Amino acid sequence: MSVVPADLLQVNVICPNETEAESLSGQVVDSVAAAVSAVQQIGSRGPQISLITLGSQGVVVFDGKTSEHVPPFSVDAVDTTAAGDAFAAAFGIALAEQMSVSEATRFAAAAGALATTKHGAQPAMPTRNAVEALLRGR
């Protein structure tokens, strides 16, 4: 397994899925525990915040000190096309609004989950009200 050189990881935030995380970390990501190990390894190579999206298993995040697993939201998924894009956009918005990394991860996980409930990409992007309603329901 080829590992991406560390000089390419000099970013503030990185958010790969399981397959991408394997290339970044050199580790197999086949469970939450493996993802925690991989996200810490990726985070130790440069990014200030590292996340690995795990689809139906949620997301793991590492802020340089602490790692956390955010479980998935229960939704009726029909199409995962836009989930990663919705997650990344919501995470950026949450950080820009000064949410903590943990809060931003939950906010992004809710947005990503909601994006799977509709077909397509653009039509699947959730509104802020929908994201906040899902968060309140948890």
Where residue 55 falls (left for φ over 0; alpha for ψ -120 to 50; beta otherwise) is left
Cβ-contact 24, 4 below 8 angstroms: yes
Phi–psi pair at 68, nearest 5 degrees: -145, 140
Instruction: Exactly one of 30, 63, 76, 85 is catalytic; name it.
Output: 85
Reply yes or no on whether 85 is catalytic: yes
Catalytic residues: 85
